Each structure stands twice: as structure tokens, then as C-alpha cells.
Amino acid sequence: MSESFDIVVFGATSFVGQILCRHLFARHGASGGEIRWAMAGRSRGKLERVRQDLGAGAGDIPLLLANADDETALTTLCQQTRVVISTVGPYALYGSELVRICAESGTDYCDLTGEVQWIRRMIDANEAAAKRSGARIVHCCGFDSVPSDLGLQFFQQEARNRFGAPVERVKMRVKAARGGFSGGTVASLMNVVKEAKQDPGLRKQLANPHLLCPPDAQRGARQPNVTFAEYDEDARSWVAPFVMAAINTRVVHRSNAIAGFPYGQSFQYDEAMMTGISSKGRLMAMSVSLGLAGFMAASVIPPSRWVLERFVVPKPGEGPTPKEQEAGFFDLRFLGHGPDGELLVTKVTGDRDPGYGSTGKMLGEAGACLALDLPEDAEGGFWTPATLLGDAFVERLQAHAGLKFEVVSS
């Protein structure tokens, strides 16, 4: 069956799915421009409401019906498109069947998951099928982990230009960010905590920074890890743990491994949040560290977990308002020393709330890159944003998604 669409958005009625559809409609109209696209989900009524909310001219966007556990419907969906973009999470609960069918049918796929344990399971279960069929599977195409993965690739390209070699010890520091969490992200995080509590073996896996690397590369140099407040001389700031580091660092190490170690066999990488240089910055770093530890501890204990889910964290479908998304931003800095001790600093910035306004645009451009920019001989398998999409994706992000990749100093 020939494909009717370049992209199908599966989960178009989810919080991020709606943001993604707004971006695709603004960029490509109702499926008649550069990208032929459609919206998919389990409820026609909800899909119709999302389509209506897009505004004048959106009525021509095709709607497809499929449930996350309906093999027949998902197979039919995949037969109609070159690329599926999935926003249906938590992926460990609702995403596995679609990945399997994409891998077996040769349909390219991307998502915004940050569930490292699920990604490992998907690679183990489906990579052989994806390589046979030619399907290109790319997880983590949102704020986790596009700015980290492509930001580091940009940093290393600059390092080679200036120093003649990559830097084997790089830090990513969140200089500033403004944005909120959606209920879907919280649900995914809580599910990872729940799985880890039930499975001691999984807890050990999650502690491995090379977990997503191929089996023969799951050991490497000992990795730095900011677990509490500390002062960073290179950043000239107190720093605290960054909640997304647990997924971003794993994706970065997978990129290094499957690309043949362009960053070096002894590559070291960590991420943290900058909180300021003064005693106020130190206090803020301590507060963030203790707050994050307290949240994780409360997520493990059933009574406090119930209180969090009931009264504290947003519910699935909830998240930042459009005004809050537009007021959001992020500024990430990458720091590392050349062979003579010279400090190179680059940055990645985004013009929207990182987890939602910006993530929706990143995800849309990832799908467009999969559909339009890959060479015909690009191999099937499980890739990362940097290793498969690379410079073409960076160009799209800078032209259409509000991201900038820049050198600060060297």
C-alpha cells in the first residue's frame, strides 16, 4: 500500500499532541503543503475538537482512529504513512505495540519519551526487526534529549575546529529556564519510580550511565554526577542536580557509542542546574537538591505518592497555558577545556517553555526531518537525534523551532 501521508501524529489529543498539531498546521497547513499529515487517536470526537481549535482551514486535516493496544488499527495506520510521531505516554504503559509494529513494517518513528528503562526494552525487543525492515526509530525528540544531544554535537564540532580534537570531559549547565510540567510528564516519571521500586535489578540498570549503549559498550569511563549542591569553577556558579540528566546523559553516551566514539572512548559528561555565585546561589542549590530528593522519596511511598498524585502534581492532560508556554525559555551552556586548558563555551537556547511549547516544535521538525531529509540509504535501527538527524535537524530547529546553537567563548 502506498503511503497517503508523510506524517501521522498519534496521540493528537494529548497535551503535547495539541501543541504539535498547532505547529504542523502553522507550518504546513491542512496536509497540502510540504508535509502531508494526519491526526490520529482513539476518540473521533476529541480529534474533531482539536482540529476545530486549530482554526480556519483545518477542517481538511484527515483524522485516523486507533487505540494504543489495537494491533490491527495500528498496522493500518502505519501502512498509510512514512513517519509516525507518538505523544502517547507513559510510553512504558501505552507505547510498546506501536514501536513493534513500526519496526516490523518499516515505518519511521519518533517520540518525546524520557523513560530510559522502556527505551532499553524497545531496543532489545525490536532493533533486529527495524534493521531488517529499514525502519528508523528515534526516541527522545523533545527537550529530553534534543538540546543535550545536538548541543553536545555542536560543541564537539566547534572543539575540532579550534583544537583539532574533541573534548573528552564536557559539562552541560542549565543557566536559566522557565516552564512547567504537564500531567503526562509527571505520570511518566512516577511510573519509572514505581517500576524501580518493584524491581531491584531495574534500579541497578538505571544507575548505569551507559545503559542505552550497545551491549559491548555498556561500560566506560567513570562518570561525574552532581547529586547535591556544589560549586562549579568553570560555570562560576553553584550548581544543583538537574532532573532530566538521568535520560539526557544516557542518550548522549548512546550517540557516542553507536557513532564509533567520535567524542573518545574515555568521554565524560554530566548535567546540572546553575543557581548563582553568591550565598543565595548556594542556598538555592541546596534547596533544589533537597526538594528533588524529597519528591523522589515521596513518589516511592504509597501514601505520599497518593497525596502527590491527588493534590500536588498536574493530572494527565494538564500543563502550562499557551501564555505560560510563550513566556517560557531555556538557556543551556556546554563547557569543556582544550588540550592547553582553554575553556570553550557554547550554548543552546529556546524561545518557549522547554517541556511543551518548545518540545512540540522540536518534535514536529524531527518528524519532518525523518520524512524529507534522510538519504535513501539511511539504515534502519534505533538511532538518536544526533546520530541520524544531525545537521539537517539543527537547520530545521534554528529555522522553524526557535532554537539557536551558538559559541559563547573560547
Conformation bin of residue 285: beta by default, left when phi > 0, alpha when psi is -120 to 50? alpha
Q: Residue 168 has what pLDDT?
A: 95
Residue type, 183: G
pLDDT of residue 182: 57
What is the tally of structural domains in the chain? 2
In terms of domains, do 175 and 240 share one? Answer: yes
Structural domain contains residue 375? yes
Does some domain include residue 408? no
Of 311, 328, 350, the domain-final residue? 350
Grid cell 504513512 — which residue? 81
pLDDT at 96: 98
CATH number for the domain including 265? 3.30.360
Instruction: Spell out the residues 6+ positions from residue 134 whose beta carbon is closer than 8 angstroms to its own.
Output: 106, 379, 380
Report the alpha-carbon distance of residue 399 to residue 248 in Å, rounded: 24
Torsional sign, CA 390, 395, 397, 398: positive
Q: How far is CA 16 from CA 12, 44, 45, 330, 366, in A?
A: 8, 18, 18, 18, 14
User: Quick check: 147 and 244 in contact, CB under 8 A?
Assistant: no
Do 100 and 164 share a domain, yes or no?
no
Domain assignment present for residue 409? The answer is no
Q: Give the long-range contacts of residues 261-264, CB within 8 A, separation 24 or more.
A: 262/156, 262/166, 263/152, 263/156, 263/166, 263/167, 263/168, 263/170, 264/166, 264/168
Which residue among 330, 350, 370 closes a domain? 350
Amino acid at 350: G
Same domain, 181 and 206: yes
Alpha-carbon gap, residue 62 to 49, rounded angstroms: 13
pLDDT value, residue 314: 67
How does pLDDT run across 282-337, given as a tens digit for each residue?
A: 999 999 999 988 877 777 777 776 666 666 666 666 778 888 888 999 999 999 99
C-alpha cell at 342: 582553554
pTM confidence score: 0.94
pLDDT at 220: 81
Check: CB of residue 150 under 8 Å from CB of residue 394: yes
Q: Are residues 370 and 337 in the same domain?
A: no
The pLDDT value given to residue 305: 67
Q: How far are the Cα atoms of 14, 17, 222, 267 from residue 218, in angstroms, in the given order?
A: 34, 34, 12, 13
C-alpha cell at 284: 538555592
Q: So what's the pLDDT on residue 410?
A: 56
The C-alpha cell that represents 207 in the structure block: 544507575
Question: Do residue 178 and residue 327 come from a single domain?
Answer: yes
The verdict on residue 12 lying in a domain is yes
Amino acid identity for residue 185 in this structure: T
Question: Is there a single domain that holds both residue 66 and residue 155?
Answer: no
Domain assignment of residue 117, yes or no: yes
**C-alpha closest to that of 84 among 128, 51, 40:** 40
Helices (H), 301-401: 302-307, 322-327, 357-372, 390-400
CA–CA distance, 234 with 335 (Å, rounded to integer): 7
Judge residue 262's burial from the number of C-beta atoms within 10 Å of its C-beta, 0-12 exposed, 13-18 middle, 19 or more buried.
middle
Q: Hey, CA dihedral for 357, 358, 361, 367, is it positive or negative?
A: negative
Task: Copy the grid coordinates of residue 170.
Answer: 564536557
- Cβ-based neighbour number of residue 53 at 10 Å: 11
Are 219 and 321 found together in one domain?
yes
Q: How many percent of the chain have pLDDT more than 70?
A: 94
3-class secondary-structure state, position 81: strand
Q: What is the pLDDT of residue 205?
A: 86
CB 398 within 8 A of CB 65: no
Does residue 410 sit within a domain?
Answer: no
**Do 181 and 305 belong together in one domain?**
yes
Backbone angles phi and psi of 278, in degrees to 5 = -85, -175
DSSP, residue by residue, 284-325: HHHHHHHHHHHHHHHHHSHHHHHHIIIIISPPTT----HHHH
The whole domain housing 304 covers 146-350
pLDDT value, residue 312? 65
Query: DSSP string spanning 125-179?
Result: HHHHHHHHHT-EEE---BTTBHHHHHHHHHHHHHHHHHHSS--SEEEEEEEEEE-
What nine digits make up the cell of 355?
Answer: 517541556
243 and 276 belong to one structural domain: yes
Q: The domain spanning residue 22 has which CATH number?
A: 3.40.50.720
Does residue 25 belong to any structural domain of this protein? yes
- Please tell me whether residues 42 and 185 are part of one structural domain: no
CA distance 64 to 31: 14
Q: Are 95 and 118 in contact (CB under 8 A)?
A: yes
Q: What pLDDT is attached to residue 2?
A: 63
Together in a domain, 197 and 185:
yes
**Is residue 202 assigned to a domain?**
yes
Residues of the chain with pLDDT under 70: 1-2, 180-186, 305-317, 410
364 and 383 together in one domain: yes
Residue closest to 162 by CA, chosen among 392, 360, 364, 339: 339
Last residue of a domain, one of 350, 367, 392: 350
User: Residue 108 has which C-alpha cell?
Assistant: 519511521
Q: What is the pLDDT, as a whole number, of residue 218?
A: 83
